Amino acid sequence: KAGVTQTPRYLIKTRGQQVTLSCSPISGHRSVSWYQQTPGQGLQFLFEYFSETQRNKGNFPGRFSGRQFSNSRSEMNVSTLELGDSALYLCASSWGDNSGNTIYFGEGSWLTVV
């Protein structure tokens, strides 16, 4: 079956712009979570959505937001981009009913802010 799909894979934005990243989870998965990966900070949890509701949130400013649709697809948005937002953004999905569920990751979206 298809894995976690993220689009776009690569994008370049200018400081001050906003960006929207998309994630399609594995079929049947209701939990979608987002992570930011940078060389300096490593992998950091942004937020998790389950059945269209934000269930968990990491320590990121309000410029980072997300949503989940009824088909479990998710989007994350970053407004007023800063140079430090340049990172690999990873989406992950799981069944979401138990924290021991396997969490599957997509290939990521590479965001460069110039």
CA distance 4 to 87: 19
CB of 82 to other proteins, least distance (A): 23
Q: Is 66 in the site for other proteins (CB under 8 A)?
A: no
CB of 16 to other proteins, least distance (A): 27
Those residues with Cβ within 8 angstroms of residue 83's Cβ, 6 or more apart along the chain or in another chain: 15, 113, 114
**Considering only 13-21, 52-60, 64-72, 79-87, which stretch makes contact with other proteins by CB under 8 A?**
52-60
Tokens of 75: 């989007």
Q: Is 53 in the site for other proteins (CB under 8 A)?
A: no
Residue type (1 letter), 38: T
Q: Is 100 in the site for other proteins (CB under 8 A)?
A: yes
Is the distance from CB of 56 to CB of 113 less than 8 angstroms? Answer: no
Q: Degrees (nearest 5) of the Cα angle 33, 76, 7? A: 90
Mark 8-47 with x for binding to other proteins (rule: CB under 8 A) and - for no binding. -----------------------xxx-x------xxxx--
CA atoms within 13 A on the CB side of 85: 25
Q: Is 92 in the site for other proteins (CB under 8 A)?
A: yes
Residue 76, helix vs strand vs coil:
strand
Q: Which residues contact other proteins by CB under 8 A?
A: 4, 31-33, 35, 42-45, 48, 50, 55-56, 58, 90, 92, 94-108
